Amino acid sequence: MTQAIANQGHIPVMLNEVAEALNVRPGKRYIDCTLGGGGHAGSILTKCQPGGELLGIDADPEAITLAQHNLYDYFESTTIINDNFYNLDQICRETGFYPVDGILFDLGLSSLQLESAERGFSFQRSGPLDMRFNPDEQLTAADIVNKLPESKLARLLLIYGEEPQAYRIARNIIQNRPISDTAQLAAIIIDAVGDRPSRIHPATKTFQALRIAVNHELEHLTTALEQSVNLLASEGRLVVISYHSLEDRIVKSFMLRETKACICPANLPECRCHHQPTLIVTHKHPLVPTESEIMKNPRSRSAKLRVAQRI
């Protein structure tokens, strides 16, 4: 495989664990729903040869360009699509890429996105308040910061960022509008809550909340998970890496729900849903990075990997 991946600064999280969780085998088909620079995809393609195939999806056109370069050695085995994974079922039907033997979601941001100041994802670099995965989308972080009423902005920060100082931050944002720059917003947040010593930067949760809202991340994740089950072949694996509790809660709840024969409310005297179990959870607890990996790649420290298998 080309060495370009290693030269782009992005280190795939839990690379070996992902391949093992997907049970990658020669001649099988896999989907990487968050292609990024192609790190996980390259590992999967290496292990599924001869005869294996991969469908890679990413909403970010810059990631698509990088992945096409990094995965060039496997161009005959790879289909790359610039789209959001909430269209997963449609993409697979249009390309004829189903059923598949494994589906991967590696949620969150890539180093490519974080280190690009003009994308506006990082509070450590001065740039426009953008935060769109796909620049063709209309809504930006600036729209939310400058237009949302104080009560709705505070609620957004509280729910999506799990930010305990949400109301104080929202009030300070309102008082300092208009805001157009990431560094300006970070300074406003610090002014609201203080720059006390902490493991995470005071702006981390606010920036997370804005990014989630701009890209409808939780809604899209829920939609894509629902679609993924019917695309998996028997004994196919669903593997999801999440980086914060909101994502992990959605993934855990979905997988557990799909193991049950009934999902009716507990107060109903009899089953009316006629739901049939579709998955078994292969690991009772999520896999997490080793201490060695965290030392080499600190951004991996919050990762949780969950695995389920199609019945």
Q: What is the pLDDT of residues 59-69, one digit of tens each?
A: 999 999 999 99
Residue 113 lies in a domain: no
pLDDT value, residue 10:
67
| Domain C-terminal end among 198, 215, 232 | 215
Instruction: Report the DSSP beta bridge partners of residue 100.
Output: 232
| Domain C-terminal end among 186, 215, 244 | 215
By the 8 A CB rule, do 47 and 24 touch? Answer: yes
166, amino acid identity:
A
| Domain C-terminal end among 215, 250, 274 | 215
Query: Is pLDDT of 3 > 50?
Result: no
CA atoms within 13 A on the CB side of 117: 7
Query: Is pLDDT of 5 > 80?
Result: no
Best CA proximity match to 105, nearest among 241, 198, 207, 261: 241
Same domain, 186 and 258: no
pLDDT digits (tens, 9 = 90+) for 158-184: 999 999 999 999 999 999 999 999 999
- State which H helix or E strand residue 47 sits in: helix 39-47
Please report the beta strands in 27-142, taking only residues with DSSP state E, as ranges in sequence order: 29-32, 53-58, 78-82, 100-106
pLDDT value, residue 218:
97
Query: Is pLDDT of 309 > 50?
Result: yes
By the 8 A CB rule, do 103 and 30 touch? Answer: yes
Residue 37 lies in a domain: yes
199, amino acid identity:
R
Q: pLDDT category, 7, cuts 50, 70, 90?
A: very low
Interval 28-52 mean pLDDT: 97
Same domain, 52 and 84: yes
Query: Is pLDDT of 293 > 60?
Result: yes
Same domain, 93 and 171: no
pLDDT value, residue 4:
37
Same domain, 231 and 99: yes
- Tell me which residue range forms the domain holding 163: 119-215
Same domain, 231 and 143: no
pLDDT top residue among 224 and 9: 224
Interval 16-22 mean pLDDT: 97
pLDDT value, residue 250:
98
Q: What is the CATH number of the domain that holds 243?
A: 3.40.50.150
Q: What is the CATH number of the domain that holds 164?
A: 1.10.150.170
pLDDT top residue among 41 and 7: 41
pLDDT value, residue 118:
86
Range 35-52 burial, b when 16+ CB lie within 10 A, else e: bbbbbbbbbbbebbeeeb
Residue 179 lies in a domain: yes
Interval 211-216 mean pLDDT: 97
Instruction: Return the minimum-mean-pLDDT range out of 106-115, 205-214, 247-256.
Output: 106-115
Q: Tokens in use for 181? A: 């720059």
Interval 240-262 mean pLDDT: 96
Distance CA 114, CA 30 (A): 27
pLDDT value, residue 249:
97
Residue 114 lies in a domain: no
Cβ burial of 171 (10 Å; 0-12, 13-18, 19+) is middle
Same domain, 94 and 61: yes
Total domain count for the chain? 2
Per DSSP, 297 falls in state -
Query: Is pLDDT of 2 > 80?
Result: no
Q: pLDDT category, 143, cuts 50, 70, 90?
A: very high
Same domain, 8 and 80: yes
pLDDT top residue among 224 and 116: 224
The fraction of the chain above a pLDDT of 70, given in percent, is 97
HEC string for 179-242: CCEHHHHHHHHHHHHCCCCCCCCCCHHHHHHHHHHHHCHHHHHHHHHHHHHCCEEEEEEEEEEE
Q: pLDDT category, 9, cuts 50, 70, 90?
A: low
pTM here is 0.92
pLDDT value, residue 115:
80
Distance CA 50, CA 12 (A): 23
